[in-house]
Structure 1
Amino acid sequence: MVFLVGVWSAWFFTIDDAYITFRYSANFAAGHGPVWNPGENPVEGFTNFLWMLWHTPFAWLGLNLPAVAKVTSFAAGAAILVMLVRYCRTNHGLVAAVVAGSAFVLYLPTYFHITSGLETVAFAALVLRAVIVGLNAIEGRRVRIWEAPLLLVLAGMLRPDGVLAALPAFLVWLWTARRDRRAWLFTAIAAVVGAGYFAWRWSYYGYPFPNTYYVKFGNITAGTAWLDTTVWLYAPLLVLTAALLLWRNTRKAALVLCATVVTTSLTYVVSGPTMDYLHRFAFHTFPVLCLSTGIAAGVIVRSGGKAWLSITAGTVAGLLATGWVAVAGLQAPDLPVIANYGPDLARAHVAIGQGLAKADIPADAKVIALHDAGAMSYYSGWRTVDFIGLNDEPIAHGADPTTVVASAHPTVIVVRSYGPGPVATAYHTNIREAARGYVHIARVQMRNGYYLHIYVVPQYADQVRAAVMPVVDQAQHTYDPGSYGDTIHRWLTRLRHDLPW
């Protein structure tokens, strides 16, 4: 019940970045291939190829892709909960199952990751399943001979760093099954499929890694700060995971658990991840830490000595860890922004994109330059210049954004500002120069301290204004009208209004 209520409370949230993936899926479904702008050189502006591929047939069917993503992640989240409870209950007792499951469902960010539209929860489910397969292998339980290689391939296709995440459990399984020729056969098949996929991506997009890696990687300072935050966030879970090394009968399992947490986190330490809302990247190992915490609580309960003392110690350890992550989730500094992000995005980015789709201008003039390359690009369907560089290859590899925007001569430029007035620069782009000669037709407020300014070439200013502003005005009166504060109160008020009674 807690899990279902949590999902309901976050259902309206969709992160803007998810629409990047949806745009690639929609273009793929339309026969253009997995590209950002049809007819142009392919750019890999997403890091979740399998997630994009999963949504392609639904795009072809004309279904609502944000809803498909939420339902898929809901299923993945439910699978995580089932795996945690079943494994712990079967192998380590009731206390272990309650601790592992409670830690997962009481961590509020879980639900926003489920409804975000991104692959976060699906990836976390794959990593958890890989770990459970590895634990079953070293503990002598039955393991499907094909499962570990399949999980390795799926993890690597879902995220480029997925191979590192699933590798420790895979190597453990391969070692235990090394005398079985079928294990080597399936490993060889996985290697061929993985290498083929990597080679195809490289040849199709022109680079070995997604475009976003070239924009974001190398910020070790930010990566160190991310690590410090993550260690503090999950401190009791990490301590109990490491404590499993102290018991001889759990030492091998602890090595698998610890190695998975380290290899999964390594990529983010060297990249300094951006868009890490509600500790998104740390969540990739969160279910694994829930599992290890449940195991540790179960081991303490069964550690011998006086039964009442062992049960009390195990229960207290589990309660402390669960309570810690529950409180830490409630205290996430960006929780007020994320809790209200759904209506804020709907009345700004989504509305602008939907309005642009209605603009009565020639098809070859439908070109927009922006930095929030998500919902506006997806709903408008316009050719888009992403001057952050996530979906623009030249900018990602060092081209001057101002020059790129000016040479594209877009009909519309949308720029964010952190105050009501226009800005001179944004994301290394000289807006004054790029928008010289344009008409400023609107300022659209998303939330307190976040505005979008719309510039249009004079030739089409009236047509764009006539198409966009009615949609924006309607959205502003529909989604939390007049309320722009980043407060938990606004979120709770909206939830209270949504209750059937």
Structure 2
Amino acid sequence: MFVAGGLGVLFLLGVRAAWFFTIDDAYITFRYSDNLANGHGPVWNVGEDPVEGFTNFLWMVWHTPFALLGLDLPTVAKLTSLVAGAAALVMLVRYCHQRYGLVAALTAGGAFVVFVPTYFHLTSGLETVAFAALVLRAVIVTLRALDDRPVRVWEPPLLLVLAGMLRPEGVLAALPAFLLWLWLRRRDRVAWLWSAGAVVAGAAYFVWRWTYYGHLFPNTFYVKFGNVAAGTAWFEATVPLLAPLLALTLWLLVRRETRWAGGLLVGTVATTYLTYVVSGPSMDYVHRFAYHAFPLLCLGAGLAVGPIRRWYLASAVGAVAVGWVAVTGVQPFDLPVIANYGPDLARAHVAIGKGLGQVDSVPPEERTVALNDAGAIPYYSGWTTVDIIGLNDEAIAHGGDVTQRVLDARPTVIVVRSLSPDVPADAYGMDVLQVTEGYEHVATVPMRDSYYKQVFVLPEWADEVREPIMAAVDEAQRTYDPGRYELTIDRWLDRVRKDFPW
């Protein structure tokens, strides 16, 4: 109990230190949830053909009733992930302690709580921690079946369906655990009935979303998938990050006692990571995609040190594994960006979005915006949006010319990223000078060092848009890390010290 309490305290402190972080991509999902709650269906732009610009259908549906109640969706997402993360920690500690005792539990739980990216993924607003916890649960349920312990017959099929609805690759991640469980229950007619039900439910969902959105895969697939070179680089970066955990999980295959558990864990990690190796995951901050299998590797490490008979040797091996991820977890090159991302997003993207949302004099049919950061600005503004990256734009995702797409749309507002206070010539393949010809440049909004938002408005609406945007931006710039734009860990630690003055 003391050990569990200590790990729980560390976990809560980590959550508090990262609580202000929300990734811009999360607001894409929130926009779909909001539109669904308002009766428009899971769409990006109300009144237009549906586009599947998210890869977390179940996460989007989960937030819909909260949107209907008018609750703050970023907070709902954080609280949901907090519960999922706490559940993962409890599962790790409980299973390892029951199976092998204190050292195993400390190794698995310790690795989980000292890994700094855990807390940024938990507070990001995305489904990362929920998905990792769900896959972990699927594996632990099957491990219980291997141990001849009772397992609810409906749980493995349900977990398979939920994993597939939570992320497109979720079926692959949960499949090894499900297949092994089904093999263990191969003579159980009820298990086959539940499995058939899962197949029918999963197929019905797949056919519905294919029919509704018109494409076999989510729109993001056509933007991101297929960069094998990037996938190889991702794999090469992931192996050193988790080396002791990977080695200990593989070691399970050597011992007869742990061979079945090792095969399940290795198979699940392999199927989970295979998608990212062949796709080259983009928008991968502080090892987000590697994290999907991270709790499994924590579990593997705990199960590997557990059978070591000499407690001091087991403790030493466990300490090396825990210490390794503690060190590598603070070394991602983008950690300074992510650690300061919360206030940076709030004083730029969120402020611009809220400012646009306050514009009442522009007619609803003229409330259109084109931009490359399709998250907080579309969500808070509610304006019809052209996503020039293509995540939420079918024409661009399938190879359409970005410049021509924006020229044809002729949006009232254009917001582009720049790496200096000067207006860029190009933004994600869009000719900025061409598409903004005839527009009025109304604002340069600093987000952080070397990152600015340039705001252009059609002349007839420039005054109506400028005033609310600048009012929201000025207030946000005074509120969130005023005057500080440097990308340093010290800026984050200064905020943490204010939260924990002791």
Give the TM-score band, short-chain normalised. over 0.9
Q: Name the counterpart of 2:204.
A: 196
For residues 413-449 of structure 1, the C-alpha deviation after alignment (integer angstroms, 9 at most, x for no partner) is 0000111111011111111111111111110000001
Q: How do 1:330-345 and structure 2 match up within 5 A?
A: 330-345=330-345
Partner residue of 2:62 out of 34, 54, 64: 54
Tell me, in whole angstroms, the C-alpha distance in 1 between the residues paired with 2:269 and 2:302.
Answer: 16
Residue 326 of structure 1 pairs with residue 326 of structure 2: yes
Q: Name the counterpart of 1:279.
A: 287
Tell me, in whole angstroms, the C-alpha distance in 1 between the residues paired with 2:280 and 2:450.
Answer: 25
Residue 423 of structure 1 pairs with residue 424 of structure 2: yes
Tell me, in whole angstroms, the C-alpha distance in 1 between the residues paired with 2:398 and 2:363.
Answer: 31
Tell me, in whole angstroms, the C-alpha distance in 2 between the residues paired with 1:126 and 1:404.
Answer: 40
Which shows bigger deviation, 268-277 or 341-350?
268-277
Aligned length: 493
For residues 188-230 of structure 1, the C-alpha deviation after alignment (integer angstroms, 9 at most, x for no partner) is 0000000000000000000111100110000000000000011
Residues 137 and 172 in structure 1, CA contact (< 8 A), matched pair in contact too: no
| Structure 1 moving runs of 4+ over 4 Å | none
- What amino acid maps onto 1:429 in structure 2? M
For residues 21-46 of structure 1, the C-alpha deviation after alignment (integer angstroms, 9 at most, x for no partner) is 00000000000000000100000000
Q: How do 1:77-116 and structure 2 match up within 5 A?
A: 77-116=85-124
Q: Which runs of 5+ in 1 are unaligned?
A: 303-309
For residues 369-400 of structure 1, the C-alpha deviation after alignment (integer angstroms, 9 at most, x for no partner) is 00100000000000000010000001101110
Partner residue of 1:120 out of 102, 121, 128: 128
Q: Name the counterpart of 2:441.
A: 440
Tell me, in whole angstroms, the C-alpha distance in 2 between the residues paired with 1:399 and 1:138.
Answer: 52
Tell me, in whole angstroms, the C-alpha distance in 2 between the residues paired with 1:401 and 1:86.
Answer: 52
Tell me, in whole angstroms, the C-alpha distance in 1 between the residues paired with 2:337 and 2:498.
Answer: 19
- State the Cα distance separating 1:154 from its structure 2 match: 0.2
| Structure 2 counterpart SS, 1:349 | helix
| Structure 2 counterpart SS, 1:433 | helix
- State the Cα distance separating 1:139 from its structure 2 match: 2.4
Q: Name the counterpart of 1:306.
A: none
Q: Name the counterpart of 1:160.
A: 168
Tell me, in whole angstroms, the C-alpha distance in 2 between the residues paired with 1:47 and 1:17.
Answer: 11
Tell me, in whole angstroms, the C-alpha distance in 2 between the residues paired with 1:114 and 1:198.
Answer: 28
Tell me, in whole angstroms, the C-alpha distance in 2 between the residues paired with 1:229 and 1:135.
Answer: 29
- What amino acid maps onto 1:355 in structure 2? G
For residues 83-127 of structure 1, the C-alpha deviation after alignment (integer angstroms, 9 at most, x for no partner) is 000000001111000110000000011000110000000000000
Residue 250 of structure 1 pairs with residue 258 of structure 2: yes
| Structure 1 counterpart SS, 2:252 | helix
Q: Name the counterpart of 2:17.
A: 9
Percent identical pairs in the alignment equals 66
Alignment TM-score, normalising by the size of structure 2? 0.97
Tell me, in whole angstroms, the C-alpha distance in 1 between the residues paired with 2:232 and 2:397.
Answer: 23
- State the Cα distance separating 1:500 from its structure 2 match: 6.3
| Structure 2 counterpart SS, 1:336 | helix
| Structure 2 counterpart SS, 1:252 | helix
Q: Name the counterpart of 2:216.
A: 208
Residues 441 and 456 in structure 1, CA contact (< 8 A), matched pair in contact too: yes
Tell me, in whole angstroms, the C-alpha distance in 2 between the residues paired with 1:391 and 1:43.
Answer: 6
- What amino acid maps onto 2:294 in structure 1? F
- What amino acid maps onto 1:336 in structure 2? P
Q: Name the counterpart of 2:346.
A: 346
| Structure 1 counterpart SS, 2:415 | strand
- What amino acid maps onto 2:457 in structure 1? V
- State the Cα distance separating 1:10 from its structure 2 match: 0.3
Tell me, in whole angstroms, the C-alpha distance in 1 between the residues paired with 2:314 and 2:253.
Answer: 16
- State the Cα distance separating 1:332 from its structure 2 match: 1.2
- What amino acid maps onto 2:383 in structure 1? W
Alignment TM-score, normalising by the size of structure 1? 0.98
Q: Name the counterpart of 1:311.
A: 311
Tell me, in whole angstroms, the C-alpha distance in 2 between the residues paired with 1:495 and 1:128.
Answer: 30
- What amino acid maps onto 2:345 in structure 1? L
| Structure 2 counterpart SS, 1:445 | strand
Tell me, in whole angstroms, the C-alpha distance in 1 between the residues paired with 2:317 and 2:404.
Answer: 58
For residues 284-314 of structure 1, the C-alpha deviation after alignment (integer angstroms, 9 at most, x for no partner) is 00000000000111022x3xxxxxxx21221
Q: How do 1:16-95 and structure 2 match up within 5 A?
A: 16-95=24-103
